[in-house]
Structure 1
Amino acid sequence: MNFKSIVNSRGGRIAMVAVPVGIVAAVMVGGVAQGAVPVSFSISGTSFTMGGSELDGTSFSQYGGVAKLQDGKEQPVAIANIGSATISNLCQAVVQDTPLGKVGLVITAGEGGDPVTAKDLQIGMTDLKGDAVFSNIRIGADASTVVTNAKGSAGDFAQDSQGITLKNFSQVAYSTTAGTLALPGMHLKITTDGSGCPAGK
């Protein structure tokens, strides 16, 4: 499913409306949020990339929101919640400018058949690509009634499903939180050439 996103403001509210133009689910739907903050801390304002070969999750929801930066500015995001998830071949990377040039911080985990596991996962993202399948999906649900523990504001547009599978996915995010996050085989490295995750991750 390909989606066309329309972003506008209405009375100080951020609106992100997704219009389906296909028949195969692929990208999440955003919504309208009244100052909804996806995390309980001020974010740095630096985006990072995260991807993997497969994510299998139960209890999924998504709606629009605004994340507050440390300097007081606001970043519109799509807030995705997953009750529990396994992620194969996870790669997460951030690249920043430093006095030594561009430096990357890359974390990999969940390779060799032992996936990353997470509970109460919440991601504030601005971009997502991959092949998606939803089970028992509801598009246009009220954000205050979604199936996940985390919920949006009453009257705001949301989608939810009992299950979600993402394959060969990549995303750009500003924040990630989880109740628990297990990273088997974790490898953290600094790249002095400013490179991030390999292509396809």
Structure 2
Amino acid sequence: MESQVRGGTRWKRFALVMVPSVAATAAIGIGLAQGALAASFSVSGVDFKVTADRLEGDDLLQYGSIATGTDLEGNKAAHPVVVSGFSHAEIYNMCQSVVTPKVPFFGNITMTLNAGTGSEPVKADNIYLDVSQLDTDAEFKNIDIGVAAGEGSANGKTKMQGNATPKSNPYGFAQRAEHATLKNVEQRAWATTAGSFKLSGLKLRLSTGANECQLKH
């Protein structure tokens, strides 16, 4: 009985730490699906990693900005990011991982999300990613480099917004393209928003340790 009580106590403490994070993630997913989230918000103190075999995106718009928030110690933090916007994107074999550090009794806890691993890819409309690091093989169709950020995408379907606060200078440097193909994608990001986000074959797992997504190639 003592063993059962101790085990229950540990899981209760674990839940107190992890449930708010998981619940927030679920709420964000619902908000994204309904297009209800505002374009600007304070980012969390933890970034996340995303890998994918391939991303096909229409009406690309990229520009620099700043994502602001608070770190895990409660201090104000600002992160330089590249905001990448697409009017429509399809992502094949997507993996997203978030490491929550120093959870009592467990150490690091990793939440991993996999989707689009079968014949049906992840699909998103009006998606914006605040990216701090990107490694990929990229191909662009009808690209314009050096346009003003406020000009919008090549077809006018993607305009400057994203999650950064304050928003970027509308006359700042940006690039746009009619279509982008990104292969072997590996990126770190602070935030993602989308008007709709369909994740086929969604699988969410928790594990101990820092078990971030890795490319399989």
State if a TM-score over 0.5 links the two structures: yes
Moved more, 120-129 or 62-71: 62-71
Q: What is the correspondence of 1:66-105 to structure 2 with a 5 Å cutoff?
A: 66-70=66-70, 71-97=75-101, 98-99=103-104, 100-105=106-111
Q: Please, which runs of 5 or more residues in structure 1 have no aligned partner?
A: 1-37
Counting aligned pairs with the same residue, the percent is 34
User: What corresponds to 1:26 in structure 2?
Assistant: none
Q: Determine whether 1:167 maps to 2:176.
A: no
- Tell me how many residue pairs correspond in the alignment: 164
Unmatched segments (≥5 aa) in structure 2: 1-37, 161-167
CA-atom RMSD in angstroms:
1.6
Larger Rg: 2
Structure-to-structure mapping, 1:168-183, within 5 angstroms: 168-183=184-199
Does residue 139 (structure 1) correspond to residue 141 (structure 2)? The answer is: no
Residue type matched to 1:179 in 2? Answer: G
Partner of 1:198, secondary structure, is coil
Report the TM-score when normalising by structure 1: 0.77
Aligned equivalents of 2:215 and 2:179: distance in 1?
27
Q: Deviations over 1:61-82 (max 9, x none)?
A: 1010011104543211111101
2:116 to 110, 123, 131: 110
Residue matched to 1:150: 159
Give, in whole Å, the separation in 2 of the partners of 1:149 and 1:72. Answer: 30
| 2:44/2:69 contact within 8 Å kept | yes
Contact 1:39 1:67 in 2 (8 A): no
Following the alignment from structure 1 to structure 2, what is the Cα–Cα distance between the partners of residues 77 and 88?
24
The residue type equivalent to 2:51 in the other structure is G
Structure with the higher strand share, 1 or 2: 1
Contact between 2:58 and 2:89, CA under 8 Å: does it hold in 1? yes
Q: Whose helix proportion is higher, 1 or 2?
A: 2
Task: Please list every run of at least 4 consecutive aligned residues from structure 1 whose deviation after the TM superposition is greater than 3 angstroms.
Answer: 198-201
Q: Relative contact order (C-alpha < 8 Å, sep 6+): which is higher? A: 2
TM-score by length of 2: 0.72
